């Protein structure tokens, strides 16, 4: 029982409940269907990014380039479809975006898995390259007329209704795509040999090599998979926003990594759960969207997220240190 109450998932869930309670006291209308759908909508893109960040952290690496991959993907996909294939349906646009994202992720995979370069250095470098490419060749130019398929996807809702006060609420169909990405990643991590190999590499690369795991192949897959998820998130973001802005997602890396770390993933690798990641995303979305309800200026978002990162990394380290001291 004591283990349950000290797990990151439990602690994050308790913080979410407390946060919702404070928000409800400040604004009784906070606990409503409209607020719930707004929060779920806010977690769609963040959730896909977080799933990708989780699998990288489990493998013992770190990736900060996924937002740049998403930005390049959504802009290039929208531009190509408008110019060459405007007849493409929405699901094809999602697949094309995943393909472009996977190709960009393969660049990270090659540099990390084949060349043996440090993950943080590589992804920082590709982040700068991708963003620099966009800034040089595109600048601030936005695509305001999306391809018909992406516009159609942007209008797809699974829930739509009206509150008693006449305001409307809705939940985008992309929520199902996020749920699908979570289920697929859970299956890979916990029901396949590949998933066990990812955990093993995160625990110890040398030990994984000694038992015959193809470390390079697994690492390459991880970054290609994360690139595909980033591409998917980019297309979803553009479709929901109904505009392809190349710099919309800039700076979201901190919130994503905060969500994954709060959920219990260790920066050293080898540990992490999708349940914790989903709870971490929920908490970050609450912080980002609800500070105003509590009367806190939105400019304090970065401070709040930074504090959460320190707590999320510091608490497990303190617990591990205390456990080691007790064992000694």
Q: Which residue has the higher pLDDT, 323 or 43?
A: 43
Q: Which residue has the higher pLDDT, 319 or 248?
A: 248
pLDDT tens per residue, range 190-232: 999 999 999 999 999 999 999 999 999 999 999 999 999 999 9
Q: Is the pLDDT of residue 268 over 50?
A: yes
Non-local CB neighbours of 301 within 8 Å, separated by 6+ positions: 287, 288, 291
Q: What mean pLDDT value characterizes the chain?
A: 88
pLDDT tens per residue, range 303-314: 877 777 777 667
Instruction: Find the mean pLDDT for residues 269-285.
Output: 90
Q: Is the pLDDT of residue 61 over 80?
A: yes
pLDDT tens per residue, range 181-198: 999 999 999 999 999 999
The pLDDT of residue 294? 66
Q: Using 50, 70 and 90 to split pLDDT, how confident is the model at 2? A: very low
Q: Which domains does the chain have, with CATH numbers?
A: 39-318 (1.10.3470)
């Amino acid at each position: 029982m004591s283990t349950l109450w000290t797990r990151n998932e439990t602690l994050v869930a308790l913080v979410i409940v407390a946060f919702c309670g404070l928000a409800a006291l400040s604004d009784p209308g906070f606990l409503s269907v409209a607020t719930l759908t707004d929060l779920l909508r806010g977690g769609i893109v963040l959730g896909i990014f977080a799933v990708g960040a989780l699998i990288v952290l489990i493998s013992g690496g770190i990736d900060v380039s996924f937002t740049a991959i998403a930005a390049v993907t959504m802009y290039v996909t929208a531009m190509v479809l408008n110019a060459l294939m405007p007849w493409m349906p929405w699901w094809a646009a999602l697949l094309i975006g995943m393909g472009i994202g996977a190709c960009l992720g393969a660049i990270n995979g090659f540099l990390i898995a084949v060349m043996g370069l440090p993950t943080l250095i590589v992804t920082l470098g590709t982040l700068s390259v991708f963003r620099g490419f966009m800034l040089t060749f595109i600048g601030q130019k936005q695509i305001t007329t999306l391809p018909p398929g992406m516009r159609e996807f942007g209008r797809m809702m699974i829930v739509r209704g009206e509150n008693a006060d006449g305001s409307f609420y809705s939940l985008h169909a992309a929520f199902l795509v996020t749920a699908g990405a979570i289920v697929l990643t859970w299956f890979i991590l916990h029901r396949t040999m590949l998933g066990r190999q990812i955990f093993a590499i995160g625990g110890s690369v040398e030990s994984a090599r000694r038992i015959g795991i193809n470390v390079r192949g697994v690492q390459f897959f991880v970054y290609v998979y994360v690139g595909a998820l980033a591409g998917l998130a980019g297309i979803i973001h553009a479709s929901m926003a109904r505009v392809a802005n190349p710099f919309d997602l800039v700076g979201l890396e901190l919130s994503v990594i905060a969500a994954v770390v709060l959920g219990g993933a260790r920066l050293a690798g080898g540990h992490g759960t999708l349940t914790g990641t989903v709870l971490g995303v929920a908490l970050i979305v609450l912080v980002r969207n609800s500070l105003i309800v509590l009367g806190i200026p939105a400019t304090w978002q970065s401070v709040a997220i930074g504090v959460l990162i320190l707590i999320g990394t510091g608490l497990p380290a303190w617990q591990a240190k205390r456990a080691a001291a007790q064992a000694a």
